[in-house]
Structure 1
């Protein structure tokens, strides 16, 4: 897997991702402490509102950012967005009112909504070999999980030496380091074949996404995975502290089980995907998510739950979650031409966060009103609906050549070159606004 690090450009991009994630992890801890300082017992409401603002920014800004991304130099855009994020982090220690937190969080997450899809779309342009790109996806997933495990520990160590406001300086340093690493390499910046209006550029990613069967299936699987992750992220602390009556360290242990399972899946996925098609692997991962939640609901309803058993279940859930979503970059890359990839990655970013925007409050509300058994059962049902949708929307043979015609094109058009019948795997573009039906 580490052989992909021989590529200097990718090595710098991975390092940029790691330092930016570390900075983000420090900001997560510092933001919670800042909310408590400003709002006291109402800190939970402040953080909940901040998370909602984050999701709204992701859902609304990503398509707009993608519309401008195709006209901008990719490297300059990423550097500017990193510097905006650093500037916001530097402002956070000086806020004195809750509304200021909300404004800064919106600016910060809007910059992230522009940065993340464009960054993700750059990797397949750098690593054009699919085997290498698959390994890069696994390394990226492992970086995310390591950040979630290590950043709180790192923040706790720093808090022994400095005040929580100083953590925001570490966040800014992470974003500046990310910008320096991005600017140190040359990045491809594919341009569209013809100029397009702002409306077409804004909606292009969603239109390509919605007209591609495998991506409709990916959205269904994103819903399935979001049902699981919402339950884990929102309710683990309630299950451990209230239902099991254990300490805060037990919460960390349970979440570490989820992260460990996810990292294990990321480690073995490259070899698995070399032998087994993406559809089977991703559906198997979603099914593991669903059955794990259903099994957890059954255990809650019938037998006392222990921390060890919860860690095992969360590890299985993390394995299924990573198996479901890590290959998604391969599907997005196959489904768009290089100049359209930022728009398609932005569409996935927007639509997947729409799933979380619905399922986060649903998971929390069900847990509060009806308890763990009902919440787990309902979210397992939501996950199963996603699996049914994926099986229905994503055909088994979606990479085969499709025999079709272009009656609006002259016979000497470059696209029509070659002997009849005209056939090739179809990517949604100006010549193929939807998947043609074979005669």
Structure 2
């Protein structure tokens, strides 16, 4: 699919708050800083504000659940099983939720699913406060919460294209991605600081109360019914399958998904961080090394978001994705070759910046190159790819690290990302031709 195949945002749907705000050209340092134009639009600002709360609050529960399971069982295996218990319903309901988001008012769906997430957070609090210490209850609640998240995510992201014009989609994605990455850094740090002070039950309660703020912000969004008036359309297996057929007919969408799969499956080395911290970087202190390795990529992503003015106005979205994935692979390969912890952290942070750029433009392509009646289903597939890729990478890198050593596995994975992405670019020109 080239630019002639892309569909622009339908007139009157992405600019509910009036004409596009006029602005003077950005000069000096403002050319480099984050592009905040979408925040001038009240509806998008409400959606983005709700993301700030959930980005941090969700990480409180993400830390509290495995902590509580480990306290009960004393087994990391049970923590892994809990992760799987959350992944399966999230994948299933993200695919279905994408179809649902294309058949009903997306604001209404967000209200329903955010209420469900809030209720499960309250139930997490009640079971912890009651001292149940029951792993089965925790896993059921986690599965329910992730199912609601799977239903919520496609509707939330698909709504952005109805709240901002096409030329601001990249900036809107940069704002949202920066907040989410900040939550990945700040949330666990806050949870670690609060658990010794207030305890696990109250940590769940904080998340539940924060979700009330999210509900209020979503309640104030405008109605977002299907543009084609087909609210009575079903959201079943046939509609989900039609989403996959849509991807197969539009090469730029297929390539954008493949780009993320290539980057994450071959190039996400987090499964090897503990071994690298214990062996390669042990002289720096295992705990310090482990913390820095896990924090480096999200910190780099946040920095990339803060300076997203350098790229959010680019029009060649396909080339931005290609360049970002190649840069990610090269940075990961350089990380694998690094014997110094500080060089390793720098290269991982560079990879985080590249990941931010890739997220921004893959997201913009999925919103701009897709008709509104398919956006929910495309975001459902996107949610599955984003969640599943790193987990497949954990298996692949863990196996390769055990067979060849962690540094060889990391370096080889990074180089494989570069090679496969360049081969895809040469073989299928649709992505490199895509622009808005």
CA deviations on 1:388-420 (whole Å, 9 max, x unpaired) are: 3354334267559xxxxxxxxxxxxxxxxxxxx
CA contact (8 A) 1:23 1:173 kept: no
Partner of residue 392, structure 1: 427
- Structure 2 residue runs of 5 or longer lacking an equivalent are 1-34
Partner of residue 142, structure 2: 105
CA deviations on 1:335-373 (whole Å, 9 max, x unpaired) are: 221122111111222234343342222223333444212
- Structure 1 residue 60: deviation in Å? 1.8
Relative to structure 1, the CA distance from residue 262 to residue 176 in structure 2 (aligned partners, 3 Å threshold; closer, same or farther) is: same
Give distance in 2, aligned partners of 1:183 and 1:193.
Answer: 22
CA contact (8 A) 1:16 1:178 kept: yes
User: Which stretch of structure 1 is more off in the superposition, 193-202 or 245-254?
Assistant: 193-202
Give distance in 1, aligned partners of 2:314 and 2:365.
Answer: 16
Matches within 5 A, 1:245-256: 245=282, 246-256=285-295
Aligned mate of 1:341, from 349, 369, 375: 375
User: Which stretch of structure 1 is more off in the superposition, 27-36 or 111-120?
Assistant: 27-36
Partner of residue 256, structure 2: 218
- Structure 1 residue 381: deviation in Å? 4.7
Relative to structure 1, the CA distance from residue 143 to residue 387 in structure 2 (aligned partners, 3 Å threshold; closer, same or farther) is: farther
Give distance in 2, aligned partners of 1:356 and 1:153.
Answer: 22
Residues 1:235 and 2:272 aligned together: yes
Give distance in 2, aligned partners of 1:328 and 1:396.
Answer: 10
Residues 1:58 and 2:90 aligned together: yes
Partner of residue 186, structure 2: 150
Consecutive aligned runs of 4 or more in structure 1 exceeding 6 Å deviation = none
Give distance in 1, aligned partners of 2:251 and 2:72.
Answer: 48
TM-score, length-scaled by structure 2: 0.83
- Structure 1 residue 38: deviation in Å? 1.4
Give distance in 1, aligned partners of 2:194 and 2:47.
Answer: 26
Matches within 5 A, 1:195-344: 196-197=233-234, 198-227=236-265, 230-232=268-270, 234-245=271-282, 246-275=285-314, 277-299=316-338, 305-344=339-378
TM-score, length-scaled by structure 1: 0.82
Relative to structure 1, the CA distance from residue 71 to residue 275 in structure 2 (aligned partners, 3 Å threshold; closer, same or farther) is: closer
Give distance in 2, aligned partners of 1:394 and 1:266.
Answer: 28
Partner of residue 117, structure 1: 154
Aligned mate of 1:82, from 101, 109, 114: 114
- Structure 1 residue 175: deviation in Å? 2.2
CA contact (8 A) 1:217 1:391 kept: no
CA deviations on 1:38-67 (whole Å, 9 max, x unpaired) are: 111x1x212222222333223222121222
Give RMSD over aligned pairs.
2.4
Give distance in 1, aligned partners of 2:62 and 2:70.
Answer: 13
Give distance in 1, aligned partners of 2:310 and 2:92.
Answer: 36
Partner of residue 412, structure 1: none
CA contact (8 A) 1:63 1:205 kept: no
Give distance in 2, aligned partners of 1:38 and 1:187.
Answer: 45
Relative to structure 1, the CA distance from residue 373 to residue 147 in structure 2 (aligned partners, 3 Å threshold; closer, same or farther) is: same
Say which SS state the counterpart of residue 311 (structure 1) adopts: helix
Relative to structure 1, the CA distance from residue 389 to residue 60 in structure 2 (aligned partners, 3 Å threshold; closer, same or farther) is: farther
Give distance in 1, aligned partners of 2:354 and 2:387.
Answer: 19
User: How many positions carry a matched residue from both structures?
Assistant: 392
CA deviations on 1:276-320 (whole Å, 9 max, x unpaired) are: 511221111111111122223334xxxxx2221111111111122
CA contact (8 A) 1:134 1:270 kept: no
- Structure 1 residue 12: deviation in Å? 1.0
- Structure 1 residue 161: deviation in Å? 2.2
CA contact (8 A) 1:29 1:152 kept: yes
Aligned mate of 1:175, from 191, 211, 219: 211
Give distance in 1, aligned partners of 2:291 and 2:329.
Answer: 23
CA contact (8 A) 2:44 2:164 kept: yes
Partner of residue 140, structure 1: 176
CA contact (8 A) 1:221 1:387 kept: no
Question: Which protein has greater RCO, CA pairs closer than 8 Å, 6+ apart?
Answer: 2
CA contact (8 A) 2:281 2:289 kept: no
Partner of residue 49, structure 1: 81
